Amino acid sequence: MTANFKPDLAFGESHEQKIFKILNMDKSTVEVKTEKFESWTRNGNMCIEVECYGKPSGVYHPAHKKNKVKYWIHNLCDKGNENYLGSLLLPLKNVKKLAKKYQNKYVMGGDNRASKLILVPLSEVFSEKNFN
């Protein structure tokens, strides 16, 4: 693990709590991901984690089935990374379809660059052609 792991974990967890409070949602049915301003504005993509250290994670995490996760919330932070410019609330099945469609467009990131992150253009997230 790198020195950034604990601050990044705390960042993610604080934003999870914030969104659960805003939406009054049950934590067990939702996966929340929050992107820092510098990430999503640099290239116009949202990142969908699919693997970490060679094992399924993020959208493909095995616990989702057990916990009956139905929704994926993707927060896009403002310049200070404290507040949101917006949040996407998507059925988990649709996020999996996007990850599959764009599976060849990815980067390695996170701690030790061990996470495989699928890059999905934000302009394509709600395109009907991606869900037929």
Residues 38-55 have pLDDT tens digits of 989 999 999 999 999 999
pLDDT tens per residue, range 89-129? 999 999 999 999 999 999 999 889 999 999 999 999 988 88
* Model confidence pTM above 0.85: no
Q: Percent of the chain scored above 90 by pLDDT?
A: 52
Angle at 68 between CA 66 and CA 69, to 5 degrees: 115
* Domain map (residue ranges) of the chain: 5-130
Q: How many CB atoms lie within 10 A of CB 110?
A: 20
Nearest to 84 by CA among 50, 118, 37, 120: 37
